[in-house]
């Protein structure tokens, strides 16, 4: 029997109020223009709402079939059609925000889908799709928003990654681990390169592996069912064990609310005070 272990970080409630209590030089929080790319997800929706509630002009990037934020609601998040697999859609969304607001101050990158299954059973086309959903999608957005940030020498990229993903490189979850590791390395590299342009980066490490719950989980299953069965024949019950572990480590309402508030706190913090990396409920790293 294969054991899948997830280590949760130690909890501390000090970081969130510390971030949220830092005003700008005038003693007030600056209102930001923010794009949340994955606002169709539970965490993305909560983050967009938390940002809007904090006084930021927040654009909720949603897919064409998303029901959330279908219509603008007062001072709440403003919906914008955003298919991150389509460069034209990304460019149109960014141009729309720039036309309305003149700038984009911050982008919040969400978590991609969860591939689950034996590595061999994923087709090359599926691997390309997984890579696109996790990596190329963020690159499309970055290439669209960064030029105006570089010109203004001002901006913030927030990257959200699951907790303890390195330990998830176990049977049937290795692709998820690899994809998230690649995103985290990409974020760290951007952080180094963008410093010269005055653009900041924060990596938010979640306390859970799966940023959705129940039927909303965006899982990717192998197309090669015959190969899946061959592996299941040698390791009966392993697929079920992995699925059970994923369910155990889906987000909970309290966790997603805490993460959304922490992301909003990072955006609200003055330039120069934002941590490079932190887990909501734990001490930050600067």
pLDDT tens string 186-206: 999 999 999 999 999 999 998
Considering the domain boundaries, does residue 2 fall inside one? no
Helix axes 137-152, 87-101, angle to 10 degrees: 30
Tokens linked to 55: 């006084």
Q: Indicate the pTM of the whole model.
A: 0.84
Considering the domain boundaries, does residue 105 fall inside one? yes
Helix axes 238-248, 225-234, angle to 10 degrees: 100
Structural domain for 252, as ranges: 15-278
Considering the domain boundaries, does residue 6 fall inside one? no
Number of separate domains in the chain: 1
* 249 or 271, which is more confident: 271
Considering the domain boundaries, does residue 153 fall inside one? yes
pLDDT of residue 71: 59
Considering the domain boundaries, does residue 84 fall inside one? yes
Find the CATH number of the domain harbouring 165.
3.40.50.720
pLDDT of residue 51: 98
* Other Cβ atoms within 10 Å of 89 Cβ, number: 18
Considering the domain boundaries, does residue 232 fall inside one? yes
Q: Give me Rg for the CA atoms of the chain.
A: 19
Strands (E) located in 10-161:
33-36, 57-62, 78-81, 106-109, 114-115, 155-161
- The pLDDT-based confidence of 249 (bands split at 50, 70, 90) is low
Considering the domain boundaries, does residue 218 fall inside one? yes
Considering the domain boundaries, does residue 9 fall inside one? no
d(CA 263, CA 161): 12
Q: What strand order describes the sheet that includes 277-278?
A: 78-81, 57-62, 33-36, 106-109, 155-161, 199-205, 277-278
- Contact (CB, 8 A) for 77 and 100: no
What is the arithmetic mean of pLDDT over 146-175? 85
d(CA 56, CA 63): 22
- Contact (CB, 8 A) for 199 and 97: no
- Contact (CB, 8 A) for 109 and 158: yes
């Amino acid at each position: 029997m294969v054991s899948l272990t997830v280590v949760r970080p130690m909890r501390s409630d000090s970081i969130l109020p510390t971030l949220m209590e830092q005003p700008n030089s005038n003693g007030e929080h600056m209102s930001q223009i923010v794009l949340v790319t994955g606002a169709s997800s539970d965490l993305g929706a909560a983050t967009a709402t938390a940002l809007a509630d904090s006084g930021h002009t927040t654009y909720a990037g949603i897919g064409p079939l998303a029901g959330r934020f279908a219509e603008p609601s007062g001072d709440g998040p403003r919906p914008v059609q955003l298919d991150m697999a389509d460069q034209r859609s990304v460019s149109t969304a960014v141009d729309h925000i720039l036309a309305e607001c003149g700038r984009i101050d911050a982008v919040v990158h969400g978590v991609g889908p969860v591939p689950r299954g034996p590595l061999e059973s994923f087709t090359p086309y599926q691997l390309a799709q997984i890579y696109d959903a996790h990596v190329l999608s963020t690159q499309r957005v970055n290439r669209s928003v960064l030029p105006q940030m570089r010109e203004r020498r001002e901006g913030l990229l927030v990257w959200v990654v699951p907790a303890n993903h390195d330990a998830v490189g176990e049977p049937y979850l290795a692709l998820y681990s690899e994809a998230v590791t690649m995103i985290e390395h990409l974020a760290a590299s951007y952080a180094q390169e963008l410093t010269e342009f005055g653009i900041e980066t924060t990596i938010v490490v979640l306390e859970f592996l799966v940023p959705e719950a129940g039927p909303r989980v965006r899982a990717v299953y192998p197309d090669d069912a015959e190969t899946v069965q061959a592996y299941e024949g040698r390791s009966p019950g392993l697929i079920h064990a992995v699925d059970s572990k994923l369910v155990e480590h889906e987000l909970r309402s309290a966790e997603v609310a805490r993460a959304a508030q922490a992301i909003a706190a990072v955006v609200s913090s003055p330039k120069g005070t934002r941590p490079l990396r932190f887990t909501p409920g734990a001490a930050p790293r600067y």
